[in-house]
Amino acid sequence: MTTTHEQAGDGSTGAEAAGGGRTSRTPAVVRLLVMATFVVILNETVMINAIPRLMADMDVTEQAAQWLSTAFMLTMAAVIPVTGWFLQRVSTRRAYATAMGVFLAGTALAAAAPAFEVLLLARIVQATGTAVMMPLLMTTLMTVVPERDRGRVMGAVTMAISVAPAMGPAVSGLILQLGSWRLLFAAVLPVAALITWRGLARLENVGEPRPGTIDWFSVAAAAAGFGSLVYGLSRFGQGSAALPTVIVAVGAVTIAVFAVRQLRLQRRDVPLMDLRVLRHPAYALSLLLMSLGFMAMMGSMILLPIYLQNLRGLTPLETGLLMMPGGLAMGLLGPVVGRLFDRFGGRMLIIPGSAGIVLALAGFTRISETMPYWQVLGLHSLLMVSLAAAFTPVFTLGLGALPAFLYSHGSSMLGTLQQVAAAFGTALVVTVMAGRAESRIADGVSAALAQLDGMRLAFVISAALSLAMVGVAFLLPKRVKAAGEAPLTAEEPDAADRLLEPAAH
């Protein structure tokens, strides 16, 4: 059994790690997990700019090549619901070793893939490891960081879970200028290996594993439900909407069956995903606001490259460089936003952040064939900065409202909804853009002007939906007080207590 001193990993005492001391250093275990999470999540969007190169090198269609990103997202959506259960049953070191080991195997396989089918399999393996890292990071942070420092530390986490996917296209654009698409994986492999080795050398276990069996019906229902939902949403805008609608409906029904199953398993305290997290209003509202924010971010990430490359004639590298300042600003402001949260609470950051998102998306409704690039840069930077101002306090408020024994399940649901929101945001803008463009072409408008008109309408709808973020922001409290532990069951008399180690033995 490890002590809280060991868990903190930064030389603090047990009392300090529990929130009673004066230390303000970020625990080493969290720093290591942030670096690892950034590297693995970066791969979620790193393939966007490589699609044309892959189509030529492997002689595949655009629809087939897109599966390299779609399969990654699908795997994340299918695996993340299981992580809440998984993280309660294994030690921190074992979870880290498993996640990074699987990710490294997938990356090595991708770099050497002789055929497209092998590359697709490698992306699925990569995503399986990635799916564990974010819930592991969030759960560990909430366990070892005292409440008064969580905003500051969560600012660093925001960089890993929000900036990494935003930076993916820019990073891939730079790497592709140097050579083959294989460099996208070959460059990541030594970095990920070094972080894995460093983490295993220094990482301490946080808490103790909690024994329990897994409900395989729930695993199958989660994978089928969330996987079908994300896949169906990703198919909108690619021809007829009939099949995607059916797939989404099947996914929604399967998720409903999964939810009913979890409610029954909660009576025995053995759910795969504990839905009791939704009983806490601050967490539920944070989940909604985060989902709306990810819809806005992913929608803009899809539309802007299409606009800049198809209508303005920029190269993938030029597009990546134009969008890079916004991603960098988002990352650099994360720690600053976290410190402001610790000092002033969440509402003073979330409300203006949500308003900034609305303004940025409203500005993009005015895009044209001659809009100055500095305006595009400015609007994109405003969007990224506003998302940073909202995400850090939203994550901190939401998870902070949960009792400790629900941290892993809260992190798991947060990660799952991110994937669903990203898929929904992408499907929404692509469907609206394509539908509007087809309508305008039928009216005799040129293809370029029709696509531009479709983009404007997509941004109008995104801006209208983001208005809901402002309303939700006003409902969130300034700060939250962690809920008390759930009543202990006869089968697990100390189930909740064992998730947190005592300060001394």
CA dist., res. 414 & res. 398, Å (int): 9
Intrachain domains 1-18+25-213 and 279-482 with the same fold: yes
Q: Is 211 exposed, middle or buried (0-12, 13-18, 19+ CB in 10 A)?
A: exposed
Nearest to 406 by CA among 283, 248, 316, 237: 283
The answer to whether 383 and 163 have CB atoms below 8 angstroms apart is no
So what's the pLDDT on residue 256? 92
**Mean pLDDT for the stretch of residues 173-179:** 77
Q: Which pLDDT band holds residue 118 (cuts at 50, 70, 90)?
A: very high
- Name residues whose C-beta falls within 8 Å of residue 26's C-beta, 6 or more positions apart in sequence: 10, 145, 149, 152, 153, 156
Lowest mean pLDDT among 35-49, 279-293, 305-319: 35-49
Start-to-end C-alpha separation, the chain: 9
Higher pLDDT, 489 or 86: 86
Mean predicted confidence (pLDDT) in 133-142: 81
The per-residue pLDDT for 375 is 93
Please, are residues 419 and 361 in contact by the beta-carbon 8 Å criterion? no
pLDDT at 6 over 50: no
pLDDT at 12: 40
Instruction: Give 169's Cβ-side CA count (13 Å radius).
Output: 27
Least trusted range by pLDDT, from 295-299, 339-343, 364-368: 295-299
367 neighbors 459 (Cβ within 8 angstroms): yes
- Over residues 448-458, the mean pLDDT reads 88
Percent of the chain surpassing pLDDT 70: 84
Contact of 325 with 345, CB cutoff 8 Å = no
What's the mean per-residue pLDDT of the chain?
Answer: 78
Assess whether pLDDT exceeds 90 at residue 373. yes
Q: What is the pLDDT of residue 160?
A: 65
**Higher pLDDT pick, 102 / 73:** 102
pLDDT at 432: 83
Q: What mean pLDDT do residues 87-113 have?
A: 89
Domain ranges of the chain: 1-18+25-213, 215-271, 279-482
Q: For 183-197, 282-296, 328-342, 479-493, which range has the lowest pLDDT when averaged over its residues?
A: 479-493
Question: Looking at residue 238, what is its pLDDT?
Answer: 65
Greatest Cα pair distance, the chain, in angstroms, is: 78
Q: Under DSSP, is residue 494 helix (H, G, I), strand (E, B) or coil?
A: coil
For residue 60, pLDDT over 50 is answered with yes
Give the model confidence (pLDDT) of 24-39 as tens digits. Answer: 566 777 778 888 888 8
- Is residue 211 helix, strand or coil? coil
The reported pLDDT for the residue numbered 430 is 80
List all residues 6 or more positions away from 109 whose beta carbon is below 8 Å from its beta carbon: 118, 121, 122, 125
CATH level 3 topology of 279-482? Growth Hormone; Chain: A; (1.20.1250)
Predicted pLDDT at 212:
66
The amino acid at 249: A
pLDDT at 89: 80
Least confident of 107-111, 333-337, 453-457, 471-475: 333-337
More confidently predicted of 483 and 71: 71
Does the structural domain 1-18+25-213 have CATH classification 3.30.465.10?
no
Q: Are 159 and 35 in contact (CB under 8 A)?
A: no
pTM of the model: 0.72
Q: What is the pLDDT of residues 264-301, one digit of tens each?
A: 888 777 787 888 888 888 899 988 988 888 887 777 77
